Structure 1
Amino acid sequence: MSSETTERRRLAAIMFTDMVGFSKRAQENETVALELLRTSQRLQRENFALFHGHEVKSTGDGFLAEFPSALQATQCAIAFQRALHQHNTTQPVSHAFQVRIGIHVGEVVQRDSDIYGDGVNIAARIEPLAVGGGICLSETVYAQVHNKLEEALAPLDSPKLKNIDMPLGVYRVLLPWQEPLPADPVKPSPSRRKLLSLGAVAVSALGSAGWLLTRRTSQPKTPPASVGEPPDQKSVAVLPFVNMSADKSDEYLSDGMTEELLNALAKVPNLRVPGRTSCFAFKGKSGEAIFRDVGEKLHVRFVLEGSVRKAGKQLRITAQLIKAADGFHVWSETYDREMTNVLTIQSEIAGKVVAALKGKLGVDDAQQLAKKPTKSIPAYELYLKGHRAFLKNTEAGWKEALKYFKQAIQRDPGYALAYTGLADTYSWAGIALVESQKAWATAKELAQKALTLDPNLAEAHLSLGIVLASTFDWTEAEKALRRAIALNPNLAFAYDQLGWVKTVCGDFDEGLSLIQKATELDPLSALFHADYAFYLEYARRYDEMILQAKKALTIDPNFSFAYHLLGWAEVWKGNPAAGIVHFEKARALDTQPQFLTDLGYAYARIGERAKAEQVLRDLETQAQTRFVAPGLRAMIYLGLGEKEKALDWLEKSYDQQDGSCGNFKVDPLFDSIRNEPRFQALLKKIKFPD
């Protein structure tokens, strides 16, 4: 009879153990040696069971075992060594013994009941480095556990692994009862060590070069509580890659790799990928339940994480796919490259990762994979800084964004994404920083330039749609925004802006449906939750408006726009005094004239006319040195009940294409003058669709 041998490849955390000096002891006293071996096997098996380890086979005086995660394998090793240390303290010297342990995470081949492959070989070569009876971890394991342990870790100096050609970092676990080696660092206290390790991870994100990623791959010691599967099972979140380089300034490499993967995966048909804001909310975060936390908060089935390490002219990028519900490793790969053009490398590897994940995620090819946005690394870094500043949604943030995007374009005049970033900043800052008509004209020119450079860039169509809506070209704005969504169905910002267009034109059902889609794609974006509240205001759904604004504040407690919205919700519910409390918080956080105006209107509503008039004077003073939108002064006059003066300023608002004009049709602020002939004339000029 012939038997068929089956093989299966998978990722595993592998542990090799070995009893120090067993052969010599057996020669000296076989009876004692076998007694000690039985004690060693008993202690190891007890701890295997505690940490979900599987004994693959005995190696004579040691074991080959595997675990569901690197953390569980390391915790098991520490627990065993602690038990062994306690045993040795109760025994005479003749009955004390030591065990070396090596741990690695890698791909294994399972053949019947045994496992083989490079992952097993590397673990076997690491184990002898655990001198004096200790624990050594591969760089892969270190990346996943270094900020989850009470014990400190120290790198070995240029470790040599027998028959392993590829250079590999190895770390030793500093057990408190062991004598330190000369190269070991001073061990900080547990509380200090925790802060240091968290700080090390916090500088991770998008940038540099690494080995099997991250810092949180573990399963709980008990089965996880039931987690509802996301409605769309083809979903993956890209967590910020860890910067494993010695130079922390190389973080731009890990951040860039994360951005590249987000962009590439977002173009895969029928795959839901949470937006950048939500993914980067987990930057520097760790913990045993991190993957379940990501799965629950971002509603994804899988998590892609990784690391980047730069060493001289060598770049190593590692990525792995993990099931969110239980931390199970689905796929992993390491890419070694010569440090030439980093952006080309990032694009290449993003394409390879997406291709590798197709089968794992059950999706089709990407529509457009990783077209290099720029060849200039300085321009790319400036773009990233500008994008981060823009998302602050504050006056200071917009000023910073304008500076960085302009510098990026100076570095690379052909950088289409930088033009879109600058266009969006002008569009959003038009009512806060720059005269509106000038802002819209500049934004339109920049968006068109981006489209000339890359006609299929979704962000360029989005930028054009935003500025067209700002200038009341509603039909063309909707076309541009829908084109952006067609090119990138995961572009949450496009749904947000199309939702605004539909809402201000009076289609509340579709507008709210679109902004809800944006929050689903980027659930940890304070801006999108705040915009959801904004659109609910126009639909007169004030209780829901409050809930959404509070969600935004849960994500970002210092988000001035959310306090602004809470204040208006209270005003419309008949509590302007309560609204003032929120308006004052917004004003304390941001210097936009809008937030001062909010206070002026609320003062007028509670009968504090003198305070309202003082706000008008303050706005007039500000207008001497900066742009103050005419619509802001109209708001206060509406609060004071001076309709004709309000209409005078609203007509000036239209003449200057002030951004507030876009809200005329639906904003409750204008209900008191909605039937006034002068206001009706303004509505006709803005040409809202029926």
Structure 2
Amino acid sequence: MEQKLSVIMAADVVGYSRLMEVDEKGTLAALMAHRQELLDVEVASHDGRIVKLIGDGMLVAFHAVEDAVRCAVAIQRGMRERNATAASDRQMEFRIGINIGDLLFEEGDVYGDGVNVAARIESLAKPGGVSVSSSVHDTLGGRLGMRFEDIGEQRLKNIARPVHVYNIVIDETVVPPSSQGVRENPPIKSNRTLLYVTRFVNLSGNPDQEYFAAGITQDVVAGLSRFSGLNVIVRLPRADPHQPALAAFYTLEGSVRRIGDRVRVNASLTDAEGEHIWAEKFDFGPIDMFDVQDELSRSIPAALNVKIEEAER
């Protein structure tokens, strides 16, 4: 079991079940777009690492409190801009909670009191808002010039001790220009190897299978994000991934073809010069589609981690 002290950000969608009931496919597509174009971008540009995706939510680990808070505010600002152009019944809002605590990694999953507190604090946040524990508030101090609303000690579900919670007043918070809006090429601060993942292409000829290809992409990205040496960003196919500050980057591309109960998935890894360094074909018989996604979320990240380490050496 691996244990790390981290700044933990928990986020999920407000009223996700209601949105899915109204339009399941449209809601999933919108969530994937928000993640790919905003959340993943902001997490990477603030030196964060997605450690777990949970349906409509995510857990992200940061090294510094300032990065976590800046990232959360930038995400909520970005969602306001995106919702401004969406129909009122299709707008999506996130709640975000931030805490400092231990992360325990075991068998591909993450645990710990710090995770539980972050999740409970997130549930107290206002729709479109950010709530933080007193450990985050006190560590940050006045360094970012943010104003906080003190909502006092809170009794959190399944947490024995009361936790003092603060809300960030986002309207009075200044986000640095480098973190405003949606950027196609964010500045990556980390020294970790950069891996771009393009959304797996649906080759089935059936638009209804788009959600399946999106689900595979999401699960593979979640598996890859567990490797601490990788900085994973989801991109549109063939987007220009030019990052002059980085020594090397890699790109994972894939396709999904589903005919009846059979599924074929192709995946390939290329380096910065476009040279193929790994490719694999996965064939599945008539089994549950979630089993397919679970298997790919294990096998592809494991293979890529080895190949990227070999290429770096």
Secondary structure of the structure 2 residue equivalent to 1:156 = strand
Aligned residues: 178
Quote how far apart the aligned CAs of 1:89 are: 1.4
* Equivalent-residue separation in structure 1 for 2:18 and 2:79 (angstroms): 20
User: Structure 1, residues 397-435: CA drift from partner, whole Å, max 9, x if none?
Assistant: xxxxxxxxxxxxxxxxxxxxxxxxxxxxxxxxxxxxxxx
* Equivalent-residue separation in structure 1 for 2:72 and 2:21 (angstroms): 28
* Equivalent-residue separation in structure 2 for 1:60 and 1:144 (angstroms): 31
Q: Which one of 10, 19, 38 corresponds to residue 16 of structure 1?
A: 10
Contact 2:97 2:132 in 1 (8 A): yes
* Equivalent-residue separation in structure 2 for 1:54 and 1:113 (angstroms): 15
How high is the TM-score relative to the length of structure 2? 0.53
* Equivalent-residue separation in structure 2 for 1:68 and 1:152 (angstroms): 22
* Equivalent-residue separation in structure 1 for 2:153 and 2:163 (angstroms): 9
- Higher gyration radius (CA): 1
Quote how far apart the aligned CAs of 1:145 are: 1.6
* Equivalent-residue separation in structure 1 for 2:51 and 2:103 (angstroms): 12
- Tell me, which stretches of 5 or more residues in structure 1 are unaligned? 1-6, 177-186, 191-220, 225-690
Query: Which structure has greater strand proportion?
Result: 2
1:143 aligns with 2:131: no
**1:27 partner letter:** E
- Tell me, which stretches of 5 or more residues in structure 2 are unaligned? 175-187, 192-313
* Equivalent-residue separation in structure 2 for 1:40 and 1:123 (angstroms): 22
Q: What is the aligned partner in structure 2 of residue 99 from structure 1?
A: 94
Secondary structure of the structure 2 residue equivalent to 1:157 = strand
* Equivalent-residue separation in structure 2 for 1:112 and 1:74 (angstroms): 29
* Equivalent-residue separation in structure 1 for 2:164 and 2:121 (angstroms): 10
Contact 2:19 2:90 in 1 (8 A): no
Quote how far apart the aligned CAs of 1:159 are: 2.1
* Equivalent-residue separation in structure 1 for 2:144 and 2:85 (angstroms): 27
* Equivalent-residue separation in structure 2 for 1:158 and 1:169 (angstroms): 4
| Inter-CA distance 128–154: structure 2 relative to 1 (3 Å threshold) | same
* Equivalent-residue separation in structure 1 for 2:25 and 2:190 (angstroms): 41
* Equivalent-residue separation in structure 2 for 1:175 and 1:159 (angstroms): 21
Contact 1:100 1:133 in 2 (8 A): yes
Q: What is the aligned partner in structure 1 of residue 81 from structure 2?
A: 86
Contact 2:152 2:166 in 1 (8 A): no
* Equivalent-residue separation in structure 2 for 1:171 and 1:14 (angstroms): 15
Quote how far apart the aligned CAs of 1:115 are: 2.1
Q: What is the aligned partner in structure 1 of residue 106 from structure 2?
A: 111
Q: What is the aligned partner in structure 2 of residue 30 from structure 1?
A: 24
User: Structure 1, residues 201-244: CA drift from partner, whole Å, max 9, x if none?
Assistant: xxxxxxxxxxxxxxxxxxxx7469xxxxxxxxxxxxxxxxxxxx
User: Structure 1, residues 588-618: CA drift from partner, whole Å, max 9, x if none?
Assistant: xxxxxxxxxxxxxxxxxxxxxxxxxxxxxxx
Quote how far apart the aligned CAs of 1:15 are: 1.0
* Equivalent-residue separation in structure 2 for 1:51 and 1:39 (angstroms): 19
Q: What is the aligned partner in structure 2 of residue 522 from structure 1?
A: none
Quote how far apart the aligned CAs of 1:73 are: 1.0
**2:11 partner letter:** T
**1:45 partner letter:** D
Q: Which one of 61, 67, 72 corresponds to residue 66 of structure 1?
A: 61
Secondary structure of the structure 1 residue equivalent to 2:35 = helix
How high is the TM-score relative to the length of structure 1? 0.25
Q: What is the aligned partner in structure 2 of residue 75 from structure 1?
A: 70
**2:47 partner letter:** H
Q: What is the aligned partner in structure 1 of residue 50 from structure 2?
A: 55
Higher relative contact order (CA 8 A, sep 6+): 2
**1:49 partner letter:** A
1:170 aligns with 2:165: yes
**1:18 partner letter:** D
**2:72 partner letter:** A
Secondary structure of the structure 1 residue equivalent to 2:149 = strand
User: Structure 1, residues 451-481: CA drift from partner, whole Å, max 9, x if none?
Assistant: xxxxxxxxxxxxxxxxxxxxxxxxxxxxxxx
Q: What is the aligned partner in structure 2 of residue 120 from structure 1?
A: 115
Q: Which one of 125, 130, 145 corresponds to residue 125 of structure 2?
A: 130
Contact 2:14 2:93 in 1 (8 A): yes
**Matched ranges for 1:425-444 at <5 A:** none
Quote how far apart the aligned CAs of 1:44 are: 1.0
Quote how far apart the aligned CAs of 1:27 are: 0.8
Contact 1:56 1:113 in 2 (8 A): no
Q: Moved runs in structure 1, 4+ residues, more than 3 A?
A: 221-224
Contact 1:146 1:153 in 2 (8 A): no
**Matched ranges for 1:146-295 at <5 A:** 146-176=141-171, 222=189
| Inter-CA distance 155–66: structure 2 relative to 1 (3 Å threshold) | same
The RMSD of aligned alpha carbons is 2.2
* Equivalent-residue separation in structure 2 for 1:95 and 1:116 (angstroms): 33
Quote how far apart the aligned CAs of 1:81 are: 0.8
Quote how far apart the aligned CAs of 1:113 are: 3.5
Quote how far apart the aligned CAs of 1:95 are: 2.5
